[in-house]
Chain A
Amino acid sequence: MVEVRNTERELHRLRVRLAVALLVVLGCFGVLGARFWWLQIYRYADFRAQAEDNRIALVPAPPSRGLIFDRNGVLLAENVSAYTLELRPMRNARLEETIDALSQIVEITPRDRRRFRRLLQDSRRSESVPLKVKLTDDEVARLAVQRFRFPGVEIRARLFRSYPLGDTAAHVLGYIGRISMDDLARLDDQNRLAQYAGSTHIGKVGVEQSYEEVLHGRVGADEVEVSAGGRVVRTLSRTPPVPGSNLVLSIDIRLQKLAEELFGDRRGALVAIEPSTGDVLALVSRPGYDPNLFVDGIDPQTWQSLNEHPDHPLLNRPLRGAYPPGSTYKPFMALAALTTGARTPSDTISDPGYFMLGTHRFRDSKPAGHGTVDLRKSIVVSSDTYYYKVAYEMGVDRIHDFMKPWGFGQLTGIDLENETTGILPSKEWKLRRYKQKWYPGETPSIGIGQGYNAFTILQLAHATATLANDGVVMKPHVVQSIEDPVTHERKRTVPKESYRIPIEPAHLHLVQEAMAEVNRVGTGRHAFAGAQYVAAGKTGTAQVIGIRQNERYDARRVSERHRDHSLFIAFAPLEAPRIAVAVIVENGGFGAQAAAPIVRKVIDYHLLGKLPEDMDEELLPGIVDEAELRDIPEDIEAQTIAVPEAARP
């Protein structure tokens, strides 16, 4: 009996516990049910979005860069397809060993390694960095076979910028280089970072830089489905990239090359402008360099040799070299004197060969002086005394106020970066700069383009062009039009006049004709003998070091780098000028000696198509048939040839 009751009680107790257990089970499943509700209903939209986020990725399709042509259609910058060997540092723990192993398969030079290391420092972590570029088909084949040994090593077909004419117009074109951290920061500030997804290069200097936004184009995107490991499963949609627009420069590349050749080994700068439009026909900086060196990433040694070369080939002289203009300043000084009324056309002085100020004797370059000199003669024979005097009488500030609208000491606004303003001295300037007041004794040298005057050749050419254009100022520019890559529709960038300088036509003509006389009977007569047109010009000789009061200048005794600079400005033809030029040959001696002959040959070519006798026609870039140019492919997509699978996260 007890047993039965015990069993009953035990059964009952068991059943109670089973019931409790069932309740707990129901409770737990209830919790699960609540969780499901929360995940699948309440937060459904969120999770759905995350699932989509996971599986969909946007792969950028970088645009192809715009081409650059000269005004006649000669190709100056293009994109060439080539294979590169690239490493992804994030996935390569032992880079040196990987490189060593790769060098067993293809040749890897020390230069390649140096450049690779330098690029590595400046790259984003996830980027692949090129080790060897422009692989031959044979090299590609050998590498592709071995690629399984090298995860994180890729062979890519990339578009490379190529400058077929090498160092011609290097300073105008500039170059592109790999995007650095600084570039990224700058793009971010401009809100343009998104456009550079998938891009590796950006314009660094020159037109490549100043027109970067136009040349770059607009990035496209592939919407792809990816697995967790980043493997692309399929493409869902595609927004094609918009290729960059092409640039047509105002530069005449044959003129440019001619001018560069005329310099020879000498250092200097030349700027030629079309006065009526502001088109820059040539912008020469010597010595130059080959921009192709920079495209793959320049190796440190080459960079150093360019950077530290005593002749500074990387320096853009026309824009950044500030020189005293010397006697080329005199025509402008003459205009200043006429406009301010300090002189009339018929006023004369007696030029004994010096100008006395107190006890200081300002010497004329011709020790005996030029006798009786009026304004016209002062330009033709380049009388220093005349201009010492007129400068002193005008005072530095009146000179400053006249010269400023002509662009001296100002930015010309050319469409290249990093112009320098140079120095147009004034009392206020000196106070600001040296915390000293202006001494009247400093003014006479201003009149002959020495003293504190420091202008760029671009400014000088610009002023000359304005003079040729009768005082109508046209903003100088190197890009003439922007060409739509698909429709080939061209849009002119300029020109319209910036402003007009209020000046008497009679004064202008007087100075212009005096300058024509310079080339007929004056200091420019040797250079312009036999010219088939009338050209206006002015020689200039800028002192590099001061000559002591009683000493004479003897070029042979002074070391080359202390010799005077040779300058020349000109425009032609006198009636309706089509070209204005300013040249400096550093340490070239007298203006007539080195600079003027270059200008003569440049104008001969531009106006007459005539080449110097000793120059080979073949030297100049050929003009290509327009039809041939259009064969250049406009939308080359960078393809990846051999990429190993990405790892799982």
Chain B
Amino acid sequence: MTLHDRVSLWRRVRRHVFVFDPVLTIALAMLVALSFVTMQSAALDYDGRMADHARNLFIAFVAMWIAANLPLQWMQRIALPAWIVGVALLVAVALFGDVAKGARRWLDLGFTRIQPSELMKIAMPMMLAWWFQKREGAHGWADFVVAGVLLAVPLALIVRQPDLGTAILVFAAGFYVIYLAGLGWKVMLGGLVAVLASMPVLWSLLHEYQRQRVLMMFDPSSDPLGRGFHVIQSTIAVGSGGVWGKGWMHGTQAHLEFIPERTTDFVFAVFSEEFGLVGNLVLLGIYLLIISRGLVIAAGGANVFARLLAGAITLILFTYAFVNIGMVSGILPVVGVPLPMMSYGGTAMLTLGIGMGFLMSIARQRRLVQT
């Protein structure tokens, strides 16, 4: 072997190892640190949860690394098949799925159970980004209509399950792509007006428990021990943290079992109680850092697909963070949305890891020509 070969081997290996975008990596590292610390406290009486959480973080990290290594073309190539598979699985769920808690969301594959709607959260933006990439150059209104259909089909299946929370997230994911692709401002405004106008109709379409959740947001004290319990207790947790928080491991609401779901959807309540306003602002700051970097990456993406996908992933991350924190603080109704990187939950973390990985991949493969 010549010297040249050895050098290029090292360079090749290095290229695959150091795929991480510096800004994103630092921000994510800080987030992981917070996640570790918070979960220690939140999972205090939960046997094994901390260990599982660490494992999930590790798996997400690995997934991120793999995704960061994927070339853009590869990502484009799997978009359509992924979407088709996703829809097929959703149909399978509708036909053969397991019913749990009044909803049909899971598919039993024998060795494991999967939730296809989770898959859709990634597959949808990829699919739509691919679509707009295909139609690059001239985005006519027909393209948007097709995009809408591509979005609507899986969405309808998810709504049917019923899984309103996931449906909204999948819709958001798709919507962000369509928005970034150039959906007319007037159309969006018109759509917003139409949604507002049809609120009463939409309200009547909601299931009772979904309506309760919205009502609880406005007046949780109407059912303080039942449905309002989550909201009341989490706002107490957040509020009683004050400016500096009660200190790590000193959250009384958390440790005295007043916060249900404190390791999952409501982990922010634990964080807020223990680290206070200062902690909250730091956390928001980290998310903001990741989002800003993501949008910058999107602006500099190599092609339409890259730009749209990067933008969508970033905005989806924002959506999760905002909805979760809003819910825990009592300004949004309770929906099952985890806090990125902080909530316990393998699938969501995996998806997030893949998403971050895609961002890094896109970041590396910038446009060759700068304007």
B292 touches A649 (CB 8 A): no
Tell whether B331 is near chain A: CB-to-CB under 8 Å: yes
A51 touches B326 (CB 8 A): no
For A22, the chain B residues whose CB sits under 8 A away are 291-292, 295
Tell whether B249 is near chain A: CB-to-CB under 8 Å: no
For B243, the chain A residues whose CB sits under 8 A away are 40-41, 44
**A22 and B304 alpha carbons, distance in the complex (Å):** 19
**A39 and B329 alpha carbons, distance in the complex (Å):** 8
Number of residue pairs A-B, CB distance < 8 angstroms: 130
A36 touches B277 (CB 8 A): yes
Tell whether B105 is near chain A: CB-to-CB under 8 Å: no
**A14 and B129 alpha carbons, distance in the complex (Å):** 13
B137 touches A40 (CB 8 A): no
| Also in contact, A18 and B253, with CB within 8 A (given A36-B277, A47-B240, A649-B229) | no
For A31, the chain B residues whose CB sits under 8 A away are 326, 331
Tell whether A225 is near chain B: CB-to-CB under 8 Å: yes
Interface residues of B in 248-303 (CB under 8 A from A): 252-253, 256-258, 272, 276-277, 280-281, 284, 287-288, 291-292, 295, 298-299
B295 touches A35 (CB 8 A): no
A25 touches B291 (CB 8 A): yes
Tell whether B97 is near chain A: CB-to-CB under 8 Å: no
Interface string of A38-75 (1 = CB under 8 A from B): 01110110111011101100000000000000000000
A33 touches B299 (CB 8 A): no
**A225 and B250 alpha carbons, distance in the complex (Å):** 14
A14 touches B331 (CB 8 A): no
Tell whether A101 is near chain B: CB-to-CB under 8 Å: no
Tell whether B69 is near chain A: CB-to-CB under 8 Å: no
A51 touches B295 (CB 8 A): no
Interface string of A1-43 (1 = CB under 8 A from B): 0010010101101110110011001101101110111011101
Tell whether A228 is near chain B: CB-to-CB under 8 Å: yes
Interface residues of B in 138-170 (CB under 8 A from A): 138
| Also in contact, A51 and B284, with CB within 8 A (given A41-B277, A227-B257, A229-B257) | no
A51 touches B240 (CB 8 A): yes
CB distance from A230 to the nearest CB of B (A): 10
CB distance from B160 to the nearest CB of A (A): 30
Closest to B291 in A: A25
A25 touches B288 (CB 8 A): yes
Of the four ranges (under 10, 10 to 19, 20 to 34, 35 or more), the interface on chain B belongs to 35 or more
For A35, the chain B residues whose CB sits under 8 A away are 326, 329-331
A43 touches B239 (CB 8 A): yes
CB distance from A14 to the nearest CB of B (A): 6
Interface residues of B in 196-254 (CB under 8 A from A): 225, 229, 233, 235-243, 252-253
| Also in contact, A36 and B280, with CB within 8 A (given A48-B242, A648-B257) | yes
Closest to B287 in A: A29
CB distance from B262 to the nearest CB of A (A): 11
Tell whether A233 is near chain B: CB-to-CB under 8 Å: yes
**A28 and B172 alpha carbons, distance in the complex (Å):** 15
A18 touches B298 (CB 8 A): yes
**A26 and B233 alpha carbons, distance in the complex (Å):** 27
**A43 and B299 alpha carbons, distance in the complex (Å):** 41
B322 touches A28 (CB 8 A): yes
B180 touches A17 (CB 8 A): yes
Tell whether A226 is near chain B: CB-to-CB under 8 Å: yes
Closest to A233 in B: B256
Pick from A8, A39, A226: contact of B235, CB under 8 Å: A39
**A74 and B304 alpha carbons, distance in the complex (Å):** 102
B137 touches A47 (CB 8 A): no
A18-B299, A22-B292 given; name 8 further pairs at CB < 8 Å. Answer: A35-B329, A35-B330, A40-B239, A47-B238, A48-B242, A54-B233, A226-B256, A227-B258
Residues on B facing A (Cβ under 8 Å): 137-138, 176, 179-180, 182, 225, 229, 233, 235-243, 252-253, 256-258, 272, 276-277, 280-281, 284, 287-288, 291-292, 295, 298-299, 304, 307, 311, 315, 318, 322, 325-326, 329-331, 371
